[in-house]
Amino acid sequence: MTAKSIIVLGAGVIGTTTAYKLAMDGHDVTVIDAEDGAAMMTSYANAGLVAPGHAFAWASPAAPKMMIRSQWRGDQAIRLRLRPSWRQWKWMLRFLRECTTARAHHNTAIKADLCRFSQLHLHRITHETGISYDGETGGLIYFYRNRDGYRATAKKADLLRANGTTVEELSPRQMVGRDPGLFKVEPLIAGALFAPGDESGDAHLFTTALAEVARGKGVTFAFNTRIRRLVCDGDSITRVETDKGDFTADAYVLCLGVNSPDIVKPLGIDLPIYPVRGYSVTLPITDKAAAPRMGGIDEDNLLAYCPMGDRLRITATAEIGGYDRRFKPKDFKVMLEKARPLFAHCADFSQPRYWVGLRPMTPNGIPVVSQSPVDNLWLNVGHGHMGWTMASGCAAITADIIAGRTPNHDIGGLAYGHN
Ligand SMILES: Cc1cc2nc3c(=O)[nH]c(=O)nc-3n(C[C@H](O)[C@H](O)[C@H](O)COP(=O)(O)OP(=O)(O)OC[C@H]3O[C@@H](n4cnc5c(N)ncnc54)[C@H](O)[C@@H]3O)c2cc1C
């Protein structure tokens, strides 16, 4: 393999892990990002769950009904806010095409495989670098208030089990045995699923620490630098035009999250990625001994929670409604009302830190990790609701294909044009 100069476009968790893997291969790597540090956009305050045990496709037979109900009810898992936007409607049509049982099973299998593969690479990176990021191993708990919902998902988990992921069924009592911090939850639920191989951690801490390691290996980070366009000559990119001047390299990797489609559209590359908005609140933990020891999801309220050192992160909502990241404290009222009975005994709800992020979703939930139609451009985009889980594996795949090595993972489903 010949070492190249490579520009990674974007310093989220995806771009930074990719830059690290490329630097480990001996390439001369520059990362460009508009923000003043790594992981300042969608990778900033996500739920932190590394969750192969929750790799179900969002596009399922249940999704269209949720979207219709979301027009008059605010409690639906997936909410649709229709916009006068051709991009949104085209994405929606593609999403609806994925909502059959057969497609949902197919997409779940690909996602679950990729998540497990990625987790191995996450462990490899943490072992190589020794970085810490408020990580917790030992499993994640997914609990259900509704008995029918619990039974249905316990059965659906066979899809994950078939791929080698362990998913156990727990009674409410067994769940509290696993995580005593959930004692308030016990009387409220029908049962829980426990994925002992799942884990968690702060994606922002991980990414900023990894960026430092990468810098030590020679990677240059050009922050506060907005990419305007990619300039092509024939079938190759010749330069990246930014507000700080031009950058050139032998090869380019696109990792711009929800902004990826706009940058490559002029090159004739159609990326079916649309933002799915989510809300996040971080609270100080006041009683560590009584707090949950592992992360998880209150499935009926669609509330993810995760202990991160002395903080408790809570996230909710999947809203298909455009690129707006603005929010008001009142937008968080409902999720906080749902979270308070579960965690008021151990977290300080008077000091919330609010945040909104846009998940870069493809219609089938599978990222695009492949060569692009442009000769020297590679794509690592569209990781949707699982980018933290998938980052390390997708970075390894990208480094392999750029090096001309065969990835140790089936990448057929990740190719450009498959979404
Ligand atoms: C509420 C919520 C909860 C989530 N929970 C989880 C979870 O528990 N587990 C999990 O695995 N995933 C989770 N996710 C998903 C995960 O956070 C994303 O998939 C992941 O962060 C996407 O990373 P990225 O690097 O592709 O995008 P980003 O982090 O957005 O990175 C893209 C980068 O590109 C830069 N950029 C964009 N345009 C330009 C430009 N023109 N010029 C220069 N720079 C530019 C941005 O500044 C940004 O730094 C969650 C997401 C949300 C919103």
Encode pLDDT of 358-383 as tens digits.
Answer: 999 999 999 999 999 999 999 999 99
| Token reading at 282 | 């971080």
Each residue's pLDDT tens digit, 194-207: 999 999 999 999 99
- Which tokens in the block code for residue 266? 């002029």
Ligand 1 pocket test: which of 385, 389, 390 has the largest number of ligand atoms within 8 Å of its C-beta? 385
Going by CA atoms, what residue is nearest to atom 14 of ligand 1? 385
| In contact, 286 and 343? CB cutoff 8 Å | no
**DSSP sequence for 43-73:** TSS---EE-GGG---S-STTHHHHHHHTTT-
Q: How far is the C-alpha of 230 from the C-alpha of 7, rounded, in Å?
A: 11
pLDDT beyond 80 at 419? no
- What confidence score (pLDDT) does residue 184 get? 95
Distance 392 CA to ligand 1 centre (A): 14
How far away, in angstroms, is 149 Cα from ligand 1 center?
A: 30
Does domain 5-43+205-272+365-414 fall under CATH 3.50.50.60? My reply is yes
In angstroms, what CA-CA distances link 87 with 366, 379, 419?
18, 20, 15
Predicted TM-score (pTM) above 0.95: yes
Across the chain, what does the average pLDDT equal? 96
CB 389 within 8 A of CB 360: no
Nearest CA to ligand 1 atom 21: 43
Asked if residue 106 lies in contact with residue 163, where contact means CB atoms within 8 angstroms, the answer is no
As beta bridge partners, residue 7 has 30, 252
Output the pLDDT for position 76.
Answer: 79
Q: Is-contact 66 319, C-beta < 8 A? A: no
pLDDT for 210 equals 98
What distance in angstroms lies between residue 159's CA and the mean position of ligand 1's atoms? 27
Hey, which of 21, 46, 115, 254 would you mutate to test ligand 1's pocket, going by the most ligand atoms within 8 Å of its Cβ?
46
Long-range residue pairs from 91-96, CB within 8 A, at least 24 positions apart, any chain: 91/272, 91/273, 91/274, 91/320, 91/363, 92/320, 94/272, 94/363, 94/419, 95/59, 95/63, 95/363, 96/59, 96/64
The Cα–Cα gap between 392 and 152 comes to: 31
Query: What does the block give as tokens for 202?
Result: 């702060």
R_g (Cα) of the chain, nearest Å: 21
Which of 9, 40, 273, 359 for mutating ligand 1's site (highest number of atoms within 8 Å of CB)?
A: 359
| Residue minimizing CA distance to atom 27 of ligand 1 | 257
Q: Ligand 1 centroid to 82 CA: how many Å?
A: 23
Beta bridge pairs of residue 243? 245
Find out whether 232 and 200 touch, Cβ atoms under 8 Å: no
Residue 261's pLDDT band, with cuts at 50, 70 and 90, is very high
Q: How far does residue 284's CA lie from ligand 1's centre (Å)?
A: 24
Q: Which two tokens stand for residue 128?
A: 């190589």
CA of 41 to the centre of ligand 1 (A): 5
Atom number, ligand 1, closest to the C-alpha of residue 295: 8
Coil, strand or helix at 298:
strand
Structure tokens at 350: 């008077």
Hey, how many other C-beta atoms are within 10 angstroms of the C-beta on 241?
A: 14
Query: Which residue's entry shows tokens 């990719």?
Result: 18
Residue 240's pLDDT is what? 98
Give the pLDDT score at 163. Answer: 85
The residues with which 80 forms a beta bridge, in sequence order, are 320
The strand ranges marked E within 187-273 are 191-195, 199-200, 220-222, 227-233, 236-242, 245-247, 251-254
For residue 267, how many other CB atoms are within 10 A of its CB? 16
Rounded Cα distance, 152 and 262, in Å: 39
Alpha carbons 384 and 58: distance in angstroms, whole number: 10
Residue 43 CA to ligand 1 centre (angstroms): 4
From the options 3.30.9.10, 3.30.300.30, 3.40.50.300, 2.60.40.1240, give the CATH code of 55-199+274-361: 3.30.9.10
Residue-wise pLDDT tens digits, 221-241:
999 999 999 999 999 999 999
Which residues of the chain are in CATH 3.30.9.10 domains?
A: 55-199+274-361
Pick the closest to residue 395 from 3, 11, 127, 85 (CA basis): 11
User: Looking at residue 117, what is its pLDDT?
Assistant: 97
* b/e 296-322 (16+ beta carbons within 10 angstroms → b): bbbbbbbbbbbbbeebbbbbbbbbbbb
* Residue nearest atom 41 of ligand 1, based on CA coordinates: 227
Nearest atom of ligand 1 to the alpha carbon of 38: 49
Between β-strands 5-9 and 28-32, what pairing exists: parallel, antiparallel or unpaired?
parallel
Provide CATH 3.50.50.60 ranges for the chain.
5-43+205-272+365-414
CA of 257 to the centre of ligand 1 (A): 5
What is the tens place of the pLDDT at every residue in 84-116?
999 999 999 999 999 999 999 999 999 999 999
Percent pLDDT > 90 in the chain is 94
Task: Report the pocket of ligand 1 as residue ranges, CB < 6 Å.
Answer: 10-15, 32-35, 39-43, 46-49, 51, 226-227, 255-257, 259, 278, 280, 304, 315, 357, 359-360, 383-389
Q: How far apart are CA 177 and CA 365, in angstroms?
A: 34
Question: How many Å lie between the centroid of ligand 1 and the Cα of residue 208?
Answer: 13
